[in-house]
Amino acid sequence: MTSPIIAFFNNKGGIGKTSLVYHLAWMYFDLGLKVTVADLDPQANLSAAFLDEDRLEEIWEGEIGNTIFQCLKPLLSGIGDIADPHPEAIEEGLNLLIGDLQLSGFEDELSSQWSDCLDRKERAFRVISAFWRILRKAASINEADVVLVDLGPNLGAINRAALIAADYVVVPLSPDLFSLQGLKNLGPTLVRWREEWRERLLRNPAVNLELPRGEMQPIGYVVLQHGIRFDRPVKAFQRWIDRIPTTYNDKVIQKQDAIVAHPSSDPNRLALLKHYQSLMPMAQESRKPIFHLKPADGAIGSHLYAVRDVYTHFKALAEKIAERVQLKLPCAPS
């Protein structure tokens, strides 16, 4: 079985998506899987979480050229197809496909090639499927068990191509008006992209060109509480939490006759993650996930208990996602 590609997507920024992907990548690695994690957000925050500035400078300004954009370059310049990816080894078995600010220059090309697929143009199919082919190649080079993908917060052409590459989608949400409103656009957009890709697939002129199926199956949402303001009454955010199950069901799953559960028992809710307070900056400073923090990093006293809690939360979340994508965890209790 090929390794599942799981995208983390919400059209609202600053809610903790990248931190979520970063921590899950480490958690799957800790649980004994080989992980490839891809930074497809042109802001490249995930790359900056994994790599220090010196290394990023070498990569972005030097000759190393192992970013996602470098893989696309020959295709974009019209002289060939995608170049082989060279993911960065963070650890043996944890590899990062590095992001690139230049990726934003790919947006227009992806947008125009999307309509060219309807005209049965082979190059259009090569361009639209480029992310998928790069991710699959990277996974095969790394012998990855799972591929996690971080995306920017918008409904643009880069994200459309990235989502077509995804087998599964997890929606990180913050319990507020903006996330709920975002969900109302995101759900129907996923449905439309899936349908439009199916329509295009029938027009692929290149029989030997393997293409993604564009499943992008939504497997649930993660509520990220850190974005909310605690100076406001608790009721304010509880109200949004209460509304998530119905909105998610109506807009993303679109099941008419579903009986919508209470928020805490909603099967679509994969986790509710807390505000990790000072542990998050401490982890960023040490360039490691929170659950790797040690007393030498500043995690002393009650922080150490909190670190263990974070490990428990992320392990449970990783197991839940694994179950939904039929991913076997070596260390999971049988």
Chain residues that interact with Mg ion, rule: CB under 5 A: 17-18, 45
Q: Which residues touch 207 (CB under 8 Å, ≥6 apart)?
A: none
Residue nearer to ligand ADP on the CB measure, 213 or 275: 275
* CA atoms of 135 and 130, how far apart (whole Å): 9
Whichever of 31 and 151 has its CB closer to Mg ion, that residue is 151
Tokens 């150490």 found at = 304
Name the nearest CA neighbour of 7 among 209, 212, 175. 212
CB of residue 215 to Mg ion, shortest distance in Å: 23
Residue-wise DSSP of 199-215: HHHTT---TT-------
Candidates 17, 160, 200, 269; binder of ligand ADP (CB under 6 A) is 17
Q: Residue 137, Cα to own-chain centre: how many angstroms?
A: 18
Query: Does residue 15 interact with ligand ADP by CB under 6 A?
Result: yes
* Stretch (H or E) spanning 283: helix 279-286
Site for ligand ADP in 245-274 (CB under 6 A): 273
Residue 4 buriedness (CB in 10 A; 0-12 / 13-18 / 19+): buried
Looking up tokens 């293409």, which residue turns up?
211
> Is 37 an interacting residue with respect to ligand ADP (CB under 6 A)?
no
Shortest separation between residue 311's beta carbon and ligand ADP, angstroms: 14
- Of 127 and 173, nearer to ligand ADP (C-beta) is 173
Q: How far is the CB of 268 from Mg ion (least distance, A)?
A: 22
**Using the rule CB under 6 A, is 280 a contact of ligand ADP?**
yes
Is 48 near ligand ADP (CB under 6 A)?
no
In angstroms, what is the minimal distance from the CB of 279 to ligand ADP?
7
Interface with ligand ADP, residue 142, by CB under 6 A: no
Name the residue nearer to Mg ion (CB basis): 48 or 260: 48
* 200 touching ligand ADP, by CB under 6 A: no
- Give 39 or 167: the residue with its C-beta nearer to ligand ADP: 39
3-state secondary structure (DSSP) of residue 98: strand
CA-wise closest residue to 323 among 271, 256, 287, 275: 271
Token couple for 255:
């099941």
Size of the site for ligand ADP (CB under 6 A): 14
The string of DSSP codes covering 141-171 is HHT-SEEEEE--SS-SHHHHHHHHT-SEEEE
Q: How far is the CB of 259 from ligand ADP (least distance, A)?
A: 31
Give yes or no for residue 226 binding ligand ADP (CB under 6 A): yes
Cβ of residue 255: shortest distance to Mg ion, in angstroms? 29
What span, in angstroms and rounded, lies between the C-alpha atoms of 275 and 248? 22
Give the footprint of ligand ADP on this chain (CB under 6 A): 13-19, 45, 226, 273, 275-276, 280, 284
